[in-house]
Structure 1
Amino acid sequence: MLYMSDIERRVLEKIDEAAIVKTASELIEIPSITGDESKAQRRIAKIMEGIGMEADVWEIDIPEVRKHPDFSMGVDRKEGLGVVGALRAGKGKSLILNGHIDVVSPGDEKNWSVPPWKGTVKDGMLYGRGSVDMKGGLSCAINAVKAVIDSGVPFKGNVFIESVVGEEDGGIGALATALRGYKADGAIVVEPTELKVAPTQAGSHVFKITVKGHSAHACVREEGVSALEKFMPIYNALMSLEKTRNAAVNDPLYSRYRLPIPLNLGVVKCGNWPSSVPEELVLEGRYGIGVDEDVSSAHRAFEKAVADAVASDAWLRGHPPIVEWRGGQFTPVRTPTDHPIVKMVADAYEDTTGSPAVYEGMTYGSDMRHIVRVGKTPSVLFGPGDVRLCHRPDEHLPISELVTATKTLARAILRFCK
């Protein structure tokens, strides 16, 4: 049987589906590709003020944040704005609702059936770049707090909505927000989890490998050394490493994934002319790291796999490839499943839907690590949408999930902030 107190009933009656879609659509319509988020940040600050929150807006001191050991950034940005909305109501517990405003490029817009920079409603779905990742989740957080304010119910705690930049390339916004002093008794990161309760996130570190060859005219290609051909034993070694590492993962929160810590080769640049033997290959990729795995040990396993491949080839031994760790470095993190913030979100979801909460670990990296590690705030991932539908054309999510997430967050605020 669903539980609902009178106070919760009053708050949930203030949640408006149309308003949730409107807020999300308004944010979708402001392009905020990683590194260029300031316009969207200023708008969301106005939205926060419009519902009755205090808005803290500041220019991130990038050189200062860069000094922190957890700093990583893959985009050469000129500026970044931090935005935190606050509802301060008393001396009860405090709760952070965190979401990132930056999105990835829509790519070739011809591949979309709808305009990427417009919130389009079709067949019960909301489409647009960022609808899933994660302007939809930010809209849920805003509308959950708005419902609490509009209901006028007694409220003793403090709620903060963090809208952060730069999550996609390393999390400078969340790190800067934690360094500004924002921490709480608990946090919910509204990443797309399909409304599953996720107390863990795997790690992912970006790497770069440079392989040298020796150029020659293609008509006498055997007199050159192809960097592409010399990369192949390294490729095979990395694919074997991925298989071995994933076979060793034995965490029930990742039981449905064949590759809970995938190794992805994302960008390959090779050669400079069709009729020339390629003299250099540069690869950039993403290396998955297990939730409880030591990062240094994971790096060593990767570097050893490359070194073993190099040792088997005379050219590579004489011209060893360069391995670099650069760009986004997402450290894994875990909050115990029985922690109050995790159980509270699960209970709030169950009382909202009448269905048992599903616990699952997320295979992607997120800003949860900065909130836990730097902000010293126990955290959980919970939000609408499926990660499989973001970073691709026609990104979309069910409007019903937006509503369910908003109701769950509203209950969480009331129950946690006492």
Structure 2
Amino acid sequence: MKLHGVERFVVDVTKTLVRINTENPPGREREAAGYVADLTAELGLRTTIQEFAGNRANVVAILEAGEGDSIMLNSHLDTVPVGDIDSWPLNPFEAVERDGRIYGRGAADAKGPVASMLGALKMLIESEARLRGKVIFAAVADEEAAGLGSVNLVKQGYAANYVIIGEPTSLQLCRGNYGRIEFSLTVKGKPSHASLPQLGVNAINITADLIKIINTSWRDIYKNDKITATVIEGGIKPNVVPDYCRLKIDYREAARRGAEKVKKRLDKLISGAVRRKYKKASYTLSINNYAPAVVTSRKSKLVRTASEVLKEARLKHNPVLFPATTDLSRITQHINAEGIVLGPGGIETAHTNDEYVEIRELTLASQIYAEIITKMLSGEKDE
């Protein structure tokens, strides 16, 4: 399939998207969705902008190619916040092109993947690929938060037999992704004057000890899962022993265990420690949100086809699990579909102040997406 003109196209699209601020919160993906919608309309695709919750929006474009299976290309327009802009070596919204890379917030996660998916559609259309079926392209909002974009997408009736999620996997095939549970732990102690700490029950000290206990003990419970304390808040004044401490816990499941099951095990671990060591303290543990792990069979048609295409391109083709959570978790809760995660850029630079994507990977990703679609929608029956 010819790459003529695609490299400049994906570079220009990536840079334009990076220059549109879609930090989430608040999201404000409408401008980016409008830009993408103009591109898909120019390609001759049936295009719809789904607006919701103020300035939030998805763009959906459909390539119809007769009767057959359907594939959804799904990636997201929103990004995590920039944070302290002065800590960035380069302006995160300038989309600087340097040494074969594009730098900026969202370059890898996931405006580069969006551009590569658009590049794949351009290649399929301009090469007049002989397909049998339908390609649904969705550039969605809110992936970095509650996934409202993909949830709205499937609730509006958009479904497919196969789903390819565009995320920064360094073009490594991922046959699914880890799930994510966000817990809130609140420890209650007793206040006292800081000059008489023995009269109080220090909730911050207790929480710090519980973090150590969790970190050392959890590997014996579910060794392939990951648990991390990420946000902590406690105390009311520097001269008062803190009577409360709130902790956010990020939990990543390698298999679909279920939030309630994990909470029960975590609750048992914490309650045992509190009973043994901190009888005057109390705590509450709650689930804030849950996106389950998704693991697609190695034998599935989509995984086998993607592996074959990557092998032909001399890239890593043995499937692994994507370590982060993606919209595949949300989509497959509503539709029965085989799914993979695959895209340009590395997760190592995503969410950092030095985020970038390799231009070579952007172009190669377009070719790989197009080849996978061509093979999947060839009309040949899977054996």
Smaller-chain TM-score range? over 0.9
The separation in 2 between residues aligned to 1:159 and 1:245, in whole angstroms, is 42
The separation in 2 between residues aligned to 1:17 and 1:152, in whole angstroms, is 19
1:149 corresponding residue in structure 2: 125
Alignment counterpart, residue 407 of structure 1, candidates 348, 352, 367: 367
1:43 partner SS: helix
2:174 partner SS: coil
Q: Is the 8 A contact 2:179 2:256 kept in 1?
A: no
1:38 corresponding residue in structure 2: 30
Alignment counterpart, residue 270 of structure 1, candidates 234, 248, 252: 234
The separation in 2 between residues aligned to 1:350 and 1:21, in whole angstroms, is 25
- What's the RMSD between the two structures over aligned residues? 1.8
- Higher percent of residues as strand: 2
Residue type of the partner of 1:286?
D
Q: Does 1:49 align with 2:11?
A: no
Q: Does 1:377 align with 2:337?
A: yes
Displacement after TM superposition at 1:161 (Å): 0.9
Superimposed CA distance per residue, residues 216-243 of structure 1 (whole angstroms, 9 cap, x where no aligned partner): 2322333222211121332122112332
Residue type of the partner of 1:213?
G
2:381 corresponding residue in structure 1: none
Q: Does 1:417 align with 2:355?
A: no
Q: Does 1:325 align with 2:287?
A: yes
Superimposed CA distance per residue, residues 370-404 of structure 1 (whole angstroms, 9 cap, x where no aligned partner): 22231212111111111111111010121111111
- Give aligned pairs, total: 376
2:320 partner SS: coil
Alignment counterpart, residue 22 of structure 1, candidates 3, 12, 18: 12
The separation in 2 between residues aligned to 1:19 and 1:215, in whole angstroms, is 61
The separation in 2 between residues aligned to 1:15 and 1:184, in whole angstroms, is 29
Alignment counterpart, residue 197 of structure 1, candidates 173, 196, 206: 173
Q: Does 1:395 align with 2:355?
A: yes
Identify if the C-alpha distance between structure 1 residues 47 and 151 changes in structure 2 by more than 3 Å, giving closer, same or farther. same
- Higher percent of residues as helix: 1
Identify if the C-alpha distance between structure 1 residues 292 and 223 changes in structure 2 by more than 3 Å, giving closer, same or farther. closer
Q: Is the 8 A contact 1:233 1:309 kept in 2?
A: no
Moved more, 200-209 or 43-52: 43-52
The separation in 2 between residues aligned to 1:356 and 1:30, in whole angstroms, is 32
Alignment counterpart, residue 75 of structure 2, candidates 85, 99, 113: 99
The separation in 2 between residues aligned to 1:275 and 1:377, in whole angstroms, is 57
Moved more, 371-380 or 286-295: 286-295
Identify if the C-alpha distance between structure 1 residues 129 and 167 changes in structure 2 by more than 3 Å, giving closer, same or farther. same
Alignment counterpart, residue 254 of structure 2, candidates 273, 278, 290: 290
Identify if the C-alpha distance between structure 1 residues 15 and 184 changes in structure 2 by more than 3 Å, giving closer, same or farther. farther
User: What pairs up with 1:156-171 in 2 under 5 angstroms?
Assistant: 156-171=132-147
The separation in 2 between residues aligned to 1:280 and 1:383, in whole angstroms, is 43
1:58 corresponding residue in structure 2: 50
Alignment counterpart, residue 345 of structure 1, candidates 306, 310, 331: 306
Displacement after TM superposition at 1:246 (Å): 4.8
The separation in 1 between residues aligned to 2:80 and 2:316, in whole angstroms, is 33
1:256 corresponding residue in structure 2: none
- Structure 1 segments (4+ residues) deviating >6 Å: none
1:66 corresponding residue in structure 2: none
2:265 corresponding residue in structure 1: 301
2:244 corresponding residue in structure 1: 280
What is the TM-score normalised by the length of structure 1? 0.85
The separation in 2 between residues aligned to 1:48 and 1:264, in whole angstroms, is 40
Q: Does 1:334 align with 2:295?
A: yes
Q: Does 1:235 align with 2:211?
A: yes
What is the TM-score normalised by the length of structure 2? 0.93
